[in-house]
Amino acid sequence: MPLIGDDAPSFTAVTTQGTINFPEDYKGKWVILFSHPADFTPVCTTEFMTFASMQEEFREMNTELIGLSIDSVFSHIAWLKRIEEKIEYKGMKNIEVKFPVIEDLRMDVAKKYGMIQPNASTTQAVRAVFIIDPEAKVRTILYYPQSTGRNMQEIKRIVIALQKNATEKVATPANWQPGDDVIIPPPNTMEGVKERLGTTEEGKRCLDWFICLKKDNQK
């Protein structure tokens, strides 16, 4: 399976939105590639409804969604139609899932991404999430057990933090939320330490030489 910083494994797959070639079809975009154990299952249904309801929010962040399970495209389509026509959850109803869902009956993609974990199941994928940047590098890996639904707002928060790091070269502290102060990278030379301790900058506050914060530009 790929690790953080590795190239995301490439694949061609049949999906509910036609054949996709990854990463070629997603050049210049962030991607959330996620697996679910099976169609017509309750936790997965709530996840897909939530992801689908947030798709435009992610697109505004130049981020696309791709789902996957070890089911046929026909099963995917039947399940997604049932969600749209029948299921209401937390005020969401008539939810149309427009992002592609990969058919992976031979487990080709799932195995490339370590989504099959035998001690959990040999026939179903775990709830894996790979956040992949516009250069097709893996930037975040999350794994959840089959019994636990994912927090989509946390996934969105991670994407925002990763994009902020990519554009502003800052880090985000514990429990960071958009608009909170961000961390300025610490100096890595003695001269840099002296310079940091000897200067002040509006909007910046230092708790010590190695931990300085500044206002988030996107407040």
User: Does residue 54 belong to any structural domain of this protein?
Assistant: yes
User: Does residue 36 belong to any structural domain of this protein?
Assistant: yes
Residues 51 and 94 grouped into a single domain: yes
Distance of CA 46 to the CA centre of its chain: 17
Burial class for 89, CB neighbours closer than 10 Å (0-12, 13-18, 19+): middle
What predicted TM-score, i.e. pTM, was given to this entire model?
Answer: 0.94
Question: Residues within the annotated binding site for substrate?
Answer: 127
CA dist 37 and 116 (Å) reads: 10
- Active site residue: 44, 109, 132, 138, which one? 44
Is 206 annotated as catalytic? Answer: no
Question: What is the CATH number for 88?
Answer: 3.40.30.10
Domain's final residue, options 118, 150, 182: 150
Domain that holds residue 204: 169-219
Judged by average pLDDT, the poorest of 96-105, 150-159, 175-184, 192-201 is 192-201
Q: Average the pLDDT over 195-200 and give the result.
A: 78
Question: Residues within the annotated binding site?
Answer: 127
Residues 146 and 177 grouped into a single domain: no
pLDDT tens readout for residues 28-55: 999 999 999 999 999 999 999 999 999 9
Domain's final residue, options 150, 185, 210: 150
Report which secondary-structure segment, H or E, holds 184.
strand 182-184
Cβ neighbours of residue 213 closer than 8 Å, sequence gap 6 or more: 173, 181, 182, 183, 184, 204, 205, 206, 207
Distance of CA 193 to the CA centre of its chain: 35
Tell me how many domains the chain contains: 2
